[in-house]
Amino acid sequence: MASLFKRGRTKATQTERVRERKHEGFLRYAGFRWAKISGGLCLLIIVSYAMVDVTPRHNGGSWYGYTLGTIGAALILWLTALGYRKRKMTSTAWSLKAWTSAHVYLGLSLIVIGTWHTGFQLGWNVHTLAWALMLLVILSGLYGVIVYATLPAALSNNRDEMTQMQMLEAIRAFDRQLHSAAQPLTPADTAPVLAALDEDPFAGGIVARLGGRYPNCATAAALRTLAASLSSDAAAREKVVGLLKQKVAALARLRAHLRLRALLEIWLYVHVPLTFALIAALSAHIISVFFYW
Amino acid sequence: MSEPVKVAIIGSGPAGLSAASRAAQLGLSHILLEKTDHLSDTIFKYQKGKRVLATPERLDLRSDCRFAEGAREYILGNWDEDAANNKVQVAYHAEVAEVTGEKGAFAIRTAKGDIFHAENIVLAIGTQGNPNRMRCEGADLPHIIYQVDDPEDFKDKHITVVGSGDAGIENALGVAEEALENTVTILNRSKDFARAKAKNVADMTEAGENGFMSIRTETQPKLVEAGWLTLETPTGEEKIECDVIVARLGSVAPRGFVESMGIEFTGPDREAFPKLSPTFETTVPGLYVIGALAGYPLIKHCMNQGYDVVEFINGNQALTPADEKDLAAIFAGLPQQKSVSEWLDYLRTRIRIFADVSPLQMREFMLDSKVAFYGKGDVVFEKGEPGSSLFAIADGHAVVEVGPDVTVPIEQGSIFGEVGLISGRKRGATIRAGEDAIFVEVSRTAALKLMAAVPGAKRVINRISLERQLLQIFKGGLTVEDLQPIVEDPAIERFPAGKVVLAEGDAGDDVYVIRSGSMVVEKDIGGKPIFLRYLPAGSFFGEMAVLSGAPRNATVKAAVASEVIRLKGEQFKDMLAKRPQVRAATEAAVAERAAMNDFIESRKASYSSAVDLYSDTATFIMKEGLGEATDALLIDENLCVGCDNCEKACADSHEGLSRLDREAGKTFAHLHVPTSCRHCEHPHCMADCPPNVIHRGPDGEVFMEPGCIGCGNCMRNCPYGVIRMEAAPPEKPSLLRWLLTGFGPGPGEPSPKWTKKQLGDEKPKKIAVKCDMCKGISGGPACVRACPTGAAIRVSPEEFLSIARLEEDAG
Ligand SMILES: Cc1cc2nc3c(=O)[nH]c(=O)nc-3n(C[C@H](O)[C@H](O)[C@H](O)COP(=O)(O)OP(=O)(O)OC[C@H]3O[C@@H](n4cnc5c(N)ncnc54)[C@H](O)[C@@H]3O)c2cc1C
Ligand code: HEM
Ligand code: SF4
Ligand code: SF4
Ligand code: SF4
């Protein structure tokens, strides 16, 4: 090789490092490889279920049911491992995109694996609880995939090259200008402006954040009051109204940003805790099977 | 009039101070002249508390003053003590304005008018130069400063910054920090901020829009008064409040001053240094130059030279330079046994590019180089490897594999590897030792220095590289003789970014070869310029017109500042006529390009929007400076969920610091160019690194080896703002521990608050941090691997703008 600091590298070590150059999202990864594998797996199960004759009837306790159950439980543990893989940087070649792709498609295949494992025998017991939790996890995952596929473009459009820090900065800058522009106003007009200055852009709680509606927004209120007000010097009021309008727009951008980010994240707060509930129920299910069957 | 001294030393930096101390120790009569009121102004001006590093570690210090890694204050304190203990005679406020006379009887006049007489002079004034002063009325008032040491020194003041280069903008941004409550105005004589980095201009514009500072263009200071400043604006005069003026008007390099003494430089380039003998004597006998001015920017070198030069002046001829043992180590692995100076002579006489190099320069170049023995058949480098160093053949010969089973020899005394040096692209062919041989490998930086300092070397390298580049491009069909007329008198032209080389519809049949930089090809389709192709260095264009005789059918313009070689249509035709192989190759290339143009044109008719998008995206990519990138991080914002896992992964695989800023940067059609290193073809960051630790690695990555001294030059030189000066945070608790117990800051770069709590009062040293393309991590770039949705990719522009992409988009 041709660097100053080593020489005489042999052919064997000259392998190009693994590079992810193809530009394709996790759903399309490797030409839908995992969708195909997962689809094939489901098909195999559905067909073999019909072909295999289990007496007296299909259920979780038959050899066939045990097989599906083992596959399903192992799969659930592997799916859970994504949370670790995502955060553990090791130097070997792996791609989180590939993992996510496999996670999504194999996760979906659990609908078939899990349900066919039951032999369609459901009831009010811990076994069915595990199954139901599994479906809930899958459902929340499905929601996740939908937001991952649809919201990023909106997030990008809304931020328009601004970073979250810059959005906050912009709002602070309007606040500073408002502070000095409001000096000549009458006390009645100043009060709503001061309230607007005190407003915390992050306030409003989770409902407002997700819904994107802030009916008590002090800045919007101040804008309404001042636009309707007849006291104070007209030119000074005009200036403040202009600034308030700009601040309302800046707030709207930040709030839309926070809302989209929340929508992209919130479901994980369902997906992950449910995963743990599922693992607990699954353990109970497996223990009870081995003790009471 | 004063008594003549044996030696006068001008400048009290590490070099001058060490020289004066040696003179004092030897009992020589001496005087140390310093323009300011303290010693060592360059280091005095470092940021408060900066850790000064003592690189290179392997070099021993030889000086009567102490120096080891430590805080600026500690080092300056030591030097003040050492100067006193050594009984150094210092004259402060003695800015030397003129030197006259000759060896034995020099007269030195200071700006104040004092005259000093000396038999010898050691010039050690560094390279900082003098700041340009304000010139309007009142320009001598004390509230005009030429430097901001610490923005925190200014609170609640009206501050006007004059000058809109990077230094001015950075100072303005510093004092405009919200908490300081200053009222800041920045003045610019012209309309735009062409001299500053895009990032700085963007930050400033933003600060302007947010009301942190007022930006006044086409405005100049007219009159300075205490508390007030009168401005000349396009709409007339205006008086503003002003307590402090920060003037950042650039500085005059000391070269003019040095030349005025009659000292010759090695060449006209900016990188040139004074011509020096092995004893640091210039072309003016009795006048010596050492330190940064002599081309040695590291403090340790400076101090050693101060010691050596005075020993030389005192008649010590037996002194071996302090770097002797390092050089001996470089030659140690070779089969023959020779002394260091014999080796240096051996190389100088046997290698053409070293012929004009002085013994002193030779030592310097060898310290940045390697010499190695290669057995017959050993591979030196392989085709497709990145690499930018230059090889010279001291003994034996090399063979180039130009095609399957076709090799061409390169004879002893010649060089190879120059393509990487000039274009920064990958190696074009595999090279082996043709017999047992000794090759010298010169790093890119040293080679560039060599070319600047030794015009003879520059000529040889340019000629050989041109010849080889052309041979390479026309794939072995040509011989050196065919190229003779071209390389004898090459027409090399430079084009700044965006400049048109060929316009569609023009007549003409010259053929161009891109020597460095890159080009974009556009065609006017339906009244809109449509991007056709990206041409990296090493491609040629203009050949269609030669073959068809028709006018140019597309426009070619420089994507970044580029150099092209222009071949006359006639010359090219002769070559084609003589060499049917070349003709066939050219025709094939033409056919391929024509097919592609047709394809895009046909798509334009049926899938107009896809073609427009492709074309606009390409234009955006070029505008973002990716034309000079070899590998850039891009984020598809149709897929990015904003999880910042890319940043976290980068931090966790690199000492806890992220080397990319995902959110920052420009976006077009959901394609986002985050702030992250592009591994430029010609890295700007490498330009001025005192310890020379920035290199291009085996996978094309631009990286820093250990040894950064934290000077910040690379950060300022990178036009894309991707380098930051940061200290590595302490070790975090393990991931499992965090997952199970929540202990520690979790994945990613820890918050400054956490770091601060861990460190307490300890102030770690800040060094330059940038993307190294995950060098040494076998899995490849962590940022890309850690993106859950596949939004992040790392690509080169030619890969990204390939036609496959358009086909994909157009369906
Ligand atoms: C920010 C920064 C950080 C750095 N960090 C390091 C580091 O950590 N480690 C390291 O090894 N190197 C570092 N360097 C490089 C190093 O500081 C310089 O290369 C070194 O100081 C050069 O020494 P010198 O003696 O040649 O000249 P200088 O140190 O520049 O000294 C020149 C002196 O000459 C005086 N002078 C100039 N003109 C005249 C005149 N006409 N008449 C009289 N006096 C004159 C000046 O006032 C000054 O005191 C850094 C450089 C910078 C800019
Ligand atoms: C029983 C089955 C499943 C289990 C146990 C499971 C578990 C998990 C876990 C533990 C994570 C890691 C979250 C984090 O640490 O941030 C995760 C992420 C995720 N899951 Fe599932 N999951 C299951 C099924 C599914 C299904 C069916 C889908 C989609 C249809 C899905 C989609 C996702 C997605 C998109 C992520 C986010 C990846 C990321 O942003 O890194 N999951 N899942
Ligand atoms: S740090 Fe900047 S100049 Fe250096 S290679 Fe990266 S992008 Fe180019
Ligand atoms: S390639 Fe590696 S070093 Fe560079 S930004 Fe990505 S993770 Fe960081
Ligand atoms: S890891 Fe991928 S999805 Fe997450 S922020 Fe980075 S680019 Fe966006």
Cβ–Cβ gap A87/B747 under 8 Å: yes
Query: How many domains, in total, are found in chain A?
Result: 2
- A197/A109 same-domain check: no
* Percent with pLDDT over 70 in chain A: 92
pLDDT per position as a tens digit, B25-61: 999 999 999 999 999 999 998 877 777 888 777 788 9
The CA-based dihedral angle spanning residues B485, B556, B675, B201, taken in that order and rounded to the nearest 10 degrees: 100
pLDDT at B734: 87
From the CA of A117, how far away is ligand 5's center (Å)?
37
> Is residue A214 assigned to a domain?
yes
- A58/A115 same-domain check: yes
Q: Is B646 on the interface with A (CB under 8 A)?
A: no
> Is residue B196 assigned to a domain?
yes
- B656/B787 same-domain check: yes
- A169/A117 same-domain check: no
- B466/B589 same-domain check: no
Reported confidence tier of residue B808, pLDDT bands at 50, 70, 90: low
Show which of residues 216-275 on chain A sit within 8 Å of chain B, judged by CB atoms: 261, 264-265
Cβ–Cβ gap A155/B699 under 8 Å: no
> Is residue B713 assigned to a domain?
yes
- B512/B467 same-domain check: no
pLDDT per position as a tens digit, B696-750: 776 778 899 888 988 888 998 898 889 999 988 888 888 888 888 888 888 999 9
From the CA of B643, how far away is ligand 4's center (Å)?
16
Nearest CA in chain B to A92: B779
Q: What is the DSSP letter of A44?
A: H
Please enumerate, as own/partner, the contacts of B342-346 that have beta carbons within 8 Å and a separation of 24 or more: B343/B371, B346/B394
> Is residue B561 assigned to a domain?
yes
- Does residue B809 register a pLDDT over 60? no
> Is residue B319 assigned to a domain?
no
- Of B413, B446, B473, the position where a domain reaches its end is B473
- A98/A177 same-domain check: no
| Chain B positions in Cβ-Cβ contact with residue A96 (cut-off 8 Å) | 645, 785-788
> Is residue B240 assigned to a domain?
yes
> Is residue B258 assigned to a domain?
yes
Alpha-carbon span B542 to B502, nearest angstrom:
8
* Percent with pLDDT over 70 in chain B: 96
pLDDT per position as a tens digit, B776-801: 888 889 999 999 999 999 888 877 87
- B777/B662 same-domain check: yes
> Is residue A221 assigned to a domain?
yes
Domain range spanning residue A112? 29-86+94-121
Cβ–Cβ gap B380/A2 under 8 Å: yes
Alpha-carbon span A171 to A164, nearest angstrom:
11
CB B459 within 8 A of CB B428: no
- B35/B73 same-domain check: yes
CB B468 within 8 A of CB B419: yes
- B790/B725 same-domain check: yes
Q: Which residue has the tokens 């606009």?
A: B616
Query: How many domains, in total, are found in chain B?
Result: 5
Least confident stretch, A64-78, A112-126, B260-274, B662-676 = B260-274
Residues 6+ apart with CB under 8 A from B285: B102, B103
Minimal C-alpha gap between B725 and chain A (Å): 20
pLDDT at A99: 95
Alpha-carbon span A261 to A266, nearest angstrom:
8
Show which of residues 166-185 on chain B sit within 8 Å of chain A, judged by CB atoms: 178
- A194/A113 same-domain check: no
Domain range spanning residue B358? 324-473
From the CA of A260, how far away is ligand 5's center (Å)?
15
> Is residue B80 assigned to a domain?
yes
- A262/A182 same-domain check: yes
Alpha-carbon span A200 to B23, nearest angstrom:
67
- Of B231, B250, B269, the position where a domain reaches its end is B250
- Of B267, B285, B313, the position where a domain reaches its end is B313
- B637/B706 same-domain check: yes
- B209/B118 same-domain check: no
- A173/A104 same-domain check: no
Kindly list the strands in the beta sheet with B518-525, ordered across the sheet, starting from the edge strand earlier in the chain. Answer: B500-502, B555-558, B518-525, B528-536
Kindly list the protein residues whose Cβ atom lies closer than 6 A to any atom of ligand 1: B 10-16, 33-36, 40-43, 46, 52-53, 55, 94-96, 124-126, 128, 291-293, 297-299, 302, 690, 709, 711-712
Least confident stretch, A8-17, B2-11, B411-420 = A8-17
Q: What is the DSSP string of B466-534?
A: HHHHHHHHTTTSS-HHHHHHHHHS-EEEEE-TT-EEE-TT-----EEEEEESEEEEEEEETTEEEEEEE
> Is residue B612 assigned to a domain?
no
Nearest-CA residue for atom 11 of ligand 2: A83
**Burial class of residue A6 in the structure, from the number of CB atoms within 10 Å of its CB (0-12 exposed, 13-18 middle, 19+ buried):** exposed
- Does residue A13 register a pLDDT over 80? no
Tell me the CATH number at B229: 3.50.50.60
Show which of residues 716-745 on chain B sit within 8 Å of chain A, judged by CB atoms: 735, 739
pLDDT per position as a tens digit, B281-299: 999 999 999 999 988 888 9
B389 → closest Cβ in A2, A93, A100: A2
Q: Is B381 on the interface with A (CB under 8 A)?
A: yes
From the CA of B787, how far away is ligand 4's center (Å)?
12
- A169/A106 same-domain check: no
Tell me the CATH number at B509: 2.60.120.10
Cβ–Cβ gap A156/B667 under 8 Å: yes
